[in-house]
Amino acid sequence: MQTPSILKAGGSRVLLLGPARGAVSGVSTHLNQLFDSALAQQFALLHFQVGSEGRKDGRLGAAWRLMTSPLAFAARLAAARPRIVHINTSLEPRSYWRDLAYLMIAKLARRKVIYQVHGGALPAEFFAGRPLLTGLLRRVLSLPDSVVLLAHSEMTAYAAFAPWARLTRIANAVSIADIDLRAARYLAPKTLEIAYLGRLAADKGVFEIIEAMRLLRARGIAARLTIAGSGAALHEIRAAIGKARLEAQVRLMGAVFGTAKQQLWAATHVFAFPTYHREGLPYALLEAIASGAVPVVSPVGAIPDVVQEGVHGLFVPPHAPEALADALERLALDRALLHRLALAARARTIDQYSIARLAEEFAALYARLA
């Protein structure tokens, strides 16, 4: 359940809390990046698994885990004696209340605590209309030695809500491999290749993408969509594809990993992500632009920190399939623009969102607290 790295000589121990490292999760991706980066050469990183992702226990097992996990965490602190506890959470009810217990135990044990928030509600909205709980949240945010956020907009909102919180912005990162960005990839094909990769849920904008595909077909635009991922909305998505008679234009691929994911991105012109979920900084967005896929996205969470309208991609409002269809049609008809956006987005990824930068920023934070 908890996998330590090899203890480095002189390196302070850091206990990272999050889901199973093998789970299909943005936070799992984040944990793996830290464990596999140069950060693990400077600090002794240990993992304590929390939450249900990556587990297969039933109701009774989940209930037992919820009751005993704080005790297991306390025992882990006593045995491993980490200098820093790095909690990976989100401002969503289930995660907040679960991870509050770990935060309190770590503070009682006099450990330095990093409280990293991976999306969710903004703090002023989280307990809106409930002043006692809002006051509790304000107090909770003042307890960690550092609250790590992903977006500039989050920094502004958290600073206004909890002026005493010690805030740090560290954006997500992505592996950057060599790819084909030659003009032929974008100018030659008649069919615009579009991909959605992520959790299959309505609030990710998947149904809006399907409707946009129907509109594109009605306009005579040659486009093909690949939907990659898994989630509760799979059957509804399949039904929506059938209802729109898009079986020839839309492919359901399931969850993809490793080489299969790389091949998908290499064959993609546009990453469509008209999400209205409370996003942090989606890894799929960073993977897409690092691979040369132009983002057509909603400006929520940290997405505007990455994408500048008309420079790295195109923005569309949520719940607006016609606007999404307009943006996709624009790129289908203007392949020079498509290529220009892909080049600029790739350059931005290399400059701002490399794993080397992520490791350096966390190393500086750990060193300051250790």
pLDDT at 95: 94
State the total domains in the chain. Answer: 2
Q: Is residue 227 part of a domain?
A: yes
pLDDT at 259: 92
Domain of 338 in residue numbering reads as: 183-352
pLDDT at 222: 97
Query: How many whole angstroms separate alpha carbon 43 and alpha carbon 38?
Result: 9
Task: Clarify whether residues 107 and 126 are in a common domain.
Answer: yes
pTM for this one?
A: 0.85
Task: Clarify whether residues 196 and 344 are in a common domain.
Answer: yes
Task: Clarify whether residues 126 and 250 are in a common domain.
Answer: no
Q: Any idea what the CATH number is for the domain that residue 331 is in? A: 3.40.50.2000
pLDDT at 333: 97
Q: Is residue 178 part of a domain?
A: no
pLDDT at 328: 98
Task: Clarify whether residues 89 and 190 are in a common domain.
Answer: no
**Residue segments in the chain with a per-residue pLDDT below the cut of 50:** 1-10
Task: Clarify whether residues 197 and 343 are in a common domain.
Answer: yes
Task: Clarify whether residues 188 and 329 are in a common domain.
Answer: yes
Task: Clarify whether residues 153 and 241 are in a common domain.
Answer: no
In contact, 208 and 297? CB cutoff 8 Å? no
pLDDT tens-digit series, residues 17-28? 999 998 878 899
- Give CA separation, 246 vs 110, 189, 226, 268, 323, in Å: 58, 20, 12, 18, 19
Task: Clarify whether residues 209 and 336 are in a common domain.
Answer: yes
Q: Is 279 exposed, middle or buried (0-12, 13-18, 19+ CB in 10 A)?
A: buried
Task: Clarify whether residues 221 and 166 are in a common domain.
Answer: no
Most distant CA atoms of the chain, gap in Å: 65
Task: Clarify whether residues 90 and 208 are in a common domain.
Answer: no
Q: What are phi and psi of 314, to 5 degrees?
A: -125, 140
Task: Clarify whether residues 228 and 125 are in a common domain.
Answer: no
Task: Clarify whether residues 151 and 204 are in a common domain.
Answer: no
Q: Is residue 64 part of a domain?
A: yes
In contact, 213 and 246? CB cutoff 8 Å? yes
pLDDT at 62: 66
Supply 148's token pair: 């790590």
Q: Is residue 131 part of a domain?
A: yes
Paired with 44 in beta bridges are 13
pLDDT at 217: 97
Q: Is residue 4 part of a domain?
A: no
Q: Is residue 2 part of a domain?
A: no
Q: Is residue 1 part of a domain?
A: no
- Give CA separation, 317 vs 149, 268, 327, in Å: 24, 22, 11
- Give CA separation, 95 vs 86, 87, 126, 356, in Å: 15, 11, 12, 28
Task: Say how many CA atoms lie within 13 Å of 243 toward its Cβ.
Answer: 9
